[in-house]
Chain A
């Protein structure tokens, strides 16, 4: 018995060292700005930097826009696939997986080619238009995560019967979608939203090549020019991501608790 438990613990220990040591190292380094003692100076400087605030706000706004567009695109799509076109499911699943296969750099070069300022649809000609283009790009990048989350949520409820029940009670399509389907996949939509948020906050390639003042390019800029602040930023970025994942857990387990009492 003792021998059989040794293996798993060893694996966990190796994994923990692999992941935690660099993290602890980064954290420790970020505290060393003041010579000879630990301090949060690097964090203070970073958080006080107007650039940090501006880029973080910008990325947050874009993340929220991405979530809204993504949800409005994915929930009705997944709903219709489930309800009326189950045979298209493999096709749609394949399409939603494409952003994982095609690198962001390829996508963004495609965008620049199609939407440059001399094209019929010059999305890159003004900042606002580029923001819109960037949002759509983010929706694409987040598509695999959003679609999977929503699809799982829809599978957990009896979409067809709920739809028919609402229909026989006189409900129209928008009513069914917004009063019956959305509320019942809320936790799934939320986990998709948090994943999207985490992706958008850290995204570098698209924002950088479309030349928008997002958080990702800012991280890169600081990383190239400063010593201690990048470590502090890395830790902050981790905390944001972990916060999102923690929220997924909270809402996910909340939903599970509710279904357990059935």
Chain B
């Protein structure tokens, strides 16, 4: 049985369904991210696990114990907020020790635990400071220490890095991951940043409009998105409209150019319109030769992004973006130039569900 089980969770505010049919089983020590745009229900789901919101239906079990009806202070769940939420009237040490003090632990034990926590977040010298004397990154590390000081069964992080600068965000991301791995603590991490989700998680739950779109490892979610939403939200996928020719052999056409897809297309009828996903990094500008797809098009736009050059190629209705590495010895391609692009059969991903033609 999984350590944290969420079954058929629903939440509605009046007629508005914020979370619908949410099912998830998280193993002990697993790091799971909820990824989605704002308003997709990921924070609401997290808040239901924390106990700040009551679900309209469904159940939450932690370690086999039903906690759905318990108050937040009875759940032993650590929470880290986007706005840090440190107590302004307390020092760093008092903040970290707050949970233990509330639990009436002996003073010596609290002192030792606080020291251990500050060591863990590498801020042992700041014990006597007040929150307003700390930078945002430091405050969030203290908030993390405070949440894990009580040895919670589950650690919940609600967009903890969104209020920080890009540089600190990356370093703190690694730090959170290290702490989580060291303590082996079961963690749910809410974010709208796909890079954060991909780099930190064991599994990602991609959510949209209150529904789970896909659950999988970062590798699966990125490489094999199941729906159009996942494909477009995770990474910068090219979405193309294709016409099915032979479903069993994976033959399709895109703007009347013949293409072979990764594998046979499930439940597709001939002449049906399907959406096809293609990663920018899977497409090359050179004619590949051999058993590969190739398409003729015109260069529409070239943007120089530093190490990479992103080139937009238009066929007729459809266009794709592709990435090539920057090569100082080579002149960049010109707009209006006729080119052939190539990509492997495996890289053509036909998404579920037919489109209106």
Contacts and interface: CB of A to CB of B under 8 A. Distances in A.
Given A167-B72, A168-B73, A161 B132 contact: no
Nearest to B80: A165
Contacts of B132: 258-259, 261-262
Contacts of A165: 79, 81, 85-87, 143, 146
B275 to A, nearest CB: 41
SS class of chain A's interface: helix, strand, loop or mixed?
Answer: helix
Interface stretch (A118-126, A170-178, A214-222): A170-178
B133 A172 contact: no
B112 interface: no
A164 B52 contact: yes
B16 interface: no
A130 B52 CA distance: 45
Given A172-B73, A259-B132, A166 B87 contact: yes
B48 to A, nearest CB: 13
B79 A164 contact: yes
A94 to B, nearest CB: 27
Interface in B55-98: 71-79, 81, 83, 85-89, 98
B79 to A, nearest CB: 4
Contacts, number: 74
B76 A157 contact: no
A184 interface: yes
B103 interface: yes
- For chain A, the bracket of interface size reads 20 to 34
A165 B72 CA distance: 10
B106 to A, nearest CB: 16
B50 interface: yes
A158 B133 contact: no
Contact of B78 (A168, A171, A180, A184): A168
Interface residues of B, number: 30
B147 interface: yes
Contacts of B50: 164, 168
A162 interface: yes
Contact of B87 (A167, A170, A184, A262): A184
A11 interface: no
Contact of A171 (B73, B75, B88, B146): B73
A16 interface: no
B331 interface: no
B292 to A, nearest CB: 53
A18 to B, nearest CB: 42
A169 interface: yes
Nearest to B76: A170
Contact of B79 (A168, A179, A261): A168
B210 interface: no
Interface string A190-231: 000000000000000000000000000000000000000000
A158 B76 contact: no
Given A169-B99, A172-B73, A183-B89, A164 B81 contact: yes
A95 B193 CA distance: 46
A12 to B, nearest CB: 36
Nearest to B97: A169
Contacts of A166: 87, 98, 102
Contacts of A164: 50, 52, 72, 79, 81, 85
Residue in B72, B76, B146, B156 with the greatest tally of chain A CB atoms within 10 Å: B72
Contacts of A186: 89
A168 B99 CA distance: 9
A162 B73 CA distance: 13
Given A169-B150, A259-B132, A158 B102 contact: no
B139 to A, nearest CB: 10
Contacts of A171: 73, 98-99, 102
A158 B85 contact: yes
A162 B79 contact: no
Interface in A139-178: 157-158, 161-162, 164-172, 175
A262 to B, nearest CB: 5
A169 B88 contact: no
B85 A161 contact: yes
Nearest to A172: B73
4 closest A-B pairs by beta carbon, nearest first, are: A169-B99, A183-B89, A168-B79, A165-B85
18 contacts: A158-B83, A161-B83, A162-B87, A164-B72, A164-B79, A165-B85, A166-B98, A166-B102, A167-B51, A167-B72, A168-B51, A168-B77, A168-B147, A170-B74, A170-B103, A175-B102, A259-B132, A262-B132
Given A169-B150, A184-B87, 11 more contacts: A157-B88, A165-B146, A167-B52, A169-B99, A169-B102, A170-B73, A170-B74, A171-B99, A179-B98, A183-B89, A262-B132
Interface of A: 157-158, 161-162, 164-172, 175, 179-180, 183-184, 186, 258-259, 261-262
